């Protein structure tokens, strides 16, 4: 069988197959180009098979070598495996241009006390040249450059790493620390803030570092703190620890109240502020979160907060609101079926057990002025109340626990709302007092107390000194 074809430029190719399956090809150049030339190429099937087999073997060998190289590099650079210097050195000899092996060997060499900085730098640059888009090699180069005393080159290496990995926290953090060591505080603040924004766990360390370096510069620590509520609360807590309560309160009061109320650390800050002696400020912040409005000059908060029990009690803000719990003698709830004014009151149901005791199950911390005279009043209602002696409303000093005053006992029987009032004087150093409902038996045994009482409309009035 013969096939003939004519191609451009006068090239004619013809071919035919012989009986022994050998292809014969004739290539003819047309007259006018050269003298007539005929080329016969004969390819036997066995030769073709041998050629394909050799090519396949060569390809498999190439793949095997590549797999061996990848396996070697992977084992030597696996951070979970402790690889000796000797193995890494052998690995570099086997794969001299491997960026990961050169980089890891350079890291080990940097740990030597008698390291050769120039030699380590050459190794890092070799890794960098082999893998120029890996920011980690520029990160390592910055370490080498700074160890060699060239902070400018180290800064440039970190800037190059940042260009390759702009969202990596460790690059911002490292650059920020380097800039701080160079005395470039303003630029360091920018990088610290970027690092803290992606990893809030870095914030406490950043605050401590900048506070020391900047000699207590409030503006600096404020600038590195992201604006989210949790970060701002951490800043407020830090400032309070540094004995800067005014700045801490300023930061705290600037946080969105709804977001703040959802953070458990908020209660810790208020408690710390109170422990620091800032009781009025702590109470103002606490109640401001509940009401949505912080206390302003000329608009003082009531002496007893939520005295009519109209507001729900926030468990996370119990420092200056009512704390209500039950014991074996009585249960206490806020009741919406009875009230003196408004729609709610405090209801106490007595269990009818002998030697009934109440002491601290219902209480609230009030702010007092040292040496000032006060009148505390409330209203009480009873229903089938049977007791050898009713409970009293009592006030005691927070610091000394000394009782400052108490009311007459609640009368037994079923009685409509009646006013209870008594006066007390705050100690000369007294700044807070606790109001509570107390019944302490006079003897080791007395008859059971049964029935129900309601309490409402607690008010505290300062009478002067």
pLDDT in tens, 302-351: 899 999 999 888 777 778 899 999 999 999 999 999 999 999 999 999 99
In a domain, 157, yes or no: no
In a domain, 11, yes or no: yes
Domain that holds residue 16: 2-43
Question: What is the rounded distance in angstroms from the CA atom of residue 155 to the CA atom of residue 159?
Answer: 6
329/458 same-domain check: yes
347/395 same-domain check: yes
In a domain, 345, yes or no: yes
Report which of residues 128 and 248 the model is more confident about: 248
Q: For the chain, what is the domain count?
A: 3
pLDDT, position 127: 85
pLDDT band at 156; cut points 50, 70, 90? very high
Contacts of 250 by beta carbon, 8 Å cutoff, 6+ apart = none
Q: Assess whether pLDDT exceeds 50 at residue 14.
A: no
Last residue in a domain, options 301, 327, 355: 301
First-residue to last-residue Cα distance in the chain: 130
pLDDT in tens, 112-148: 777 788 888 888 888 888 888 989 889 999 989 998 8
Q: Assess whether pLDDT exceeds 80 at residue 449.
A: yes
Q: Check if the beta carbon of residue 262 is closer than 8 Å to that of residue 245.
A: no
pLDDT, position 130: 84
Report which of residues 86 and 285 the model is more confident about: 285
pLDDT in tens, 249-296: 999 989 988 888 888 889 899 989 988 888 888 998 888 887 766 666
Q: Assess whether pLDDT exceeds 70 at residue 92.
A: no
Q: Check if the beta carbon of residue 13 is closer than 8 Å to that of residue 25.
A: yes
Q: Strand locations in 310-431, DSSP E?
A: 323-324, 330-335, 345-351, 358-367, 373-386, 392-397, 403-406, 413-425
260/363 same-domain check: no
């Amino acid at each position: 069988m013969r096939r003939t074809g004519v191609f451009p430029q006068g090239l004619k190719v013809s071919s035919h197959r012989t009986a022994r399956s050998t292809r014969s090809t004739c290539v003819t150049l047309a007259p006018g180009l050269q003298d007539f030339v005929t080329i016969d190429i004969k390819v036997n099937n066995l030769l073709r098979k041998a050629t394909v087999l050799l090519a396949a073997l060569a390809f498999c060998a190439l793949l095997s070598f590549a797999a061996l190289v990848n396996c070697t590099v992977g084992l030597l650079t696996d951070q979970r495996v402790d690889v000796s210097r000797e193995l890494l050195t052998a690995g570099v000899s086997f794969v001299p241009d491997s960026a990961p092996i050169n980089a890891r060997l350079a890291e080990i060499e940097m740990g030597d006390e008698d390291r050769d900085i120039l030699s380590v730098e050459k190794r890092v640059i070799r890794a960098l040249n082999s893998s120029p888009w890996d920011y980690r090699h520029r990160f390592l180069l910055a370490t080498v450059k700074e160890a060699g005393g060239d902070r400018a080159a180290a800064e440039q290496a970190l800037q190059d790493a940042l260009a390759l990995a702009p969202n990596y926290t460790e690059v911002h953090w490292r650059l920020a620390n380097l800039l701080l060591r160079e005395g470039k505080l303003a630029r360091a603040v920018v990088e610290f803030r970027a690092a803290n924004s992606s990893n809030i766990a870095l914030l406490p360390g950043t605050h401590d570092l900048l506070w020391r370096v900047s000699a207590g510069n409030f503006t600096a620590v404020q600038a590195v703190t992201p604006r989210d509520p949790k970060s701002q609360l951490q800043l407020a807590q830090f400032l309070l620890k540094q004995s800067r309560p005014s700045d801490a309160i300023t930061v705290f009061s600037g946080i969105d109240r709804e977001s703040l109320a959802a953070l458990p650390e908020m209660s810790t800050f208020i408690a710390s502020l109170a422990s620091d002696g800032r009781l009025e400020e702590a109470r103002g912040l606490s109640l401001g979160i509940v009401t949505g409005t912080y206390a302003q000059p000329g608009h003082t908060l009531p002496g007893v907060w939520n005295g009519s029990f109209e507001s729900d009690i926030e468990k996370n803000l119990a420092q200056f609101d009512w704390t209500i719990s039950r014991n074996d003698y009585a249960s206490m709830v806020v009741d919406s079926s009875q009230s003196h004014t408004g729609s709610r009151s405090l209801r106490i149901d007595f269990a009818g057990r002998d030697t009934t005791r109440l002491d601290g199950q219902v209480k609230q911390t009030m702010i007092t002025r040292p040496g000032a005279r006060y009148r505390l009043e409330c209203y009480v209602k009873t229903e089938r109340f049977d007791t050898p002696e009713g409970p009293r409303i009592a006030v005691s000093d927070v610091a000394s626990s000394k009782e400052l005053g108490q009311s007459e006992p609640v009368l037994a029987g079923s009685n409509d709302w009646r006013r209870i009032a008594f006066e007390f004087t705050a100690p000369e150093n007294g700044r807070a007092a606790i109001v509570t409902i107390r019944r302490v038996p006079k003897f080791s045994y007395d008859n059971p107390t049964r029935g129900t009482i309601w309490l409402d409309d607690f008010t505290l009035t300062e009478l002067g000194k």
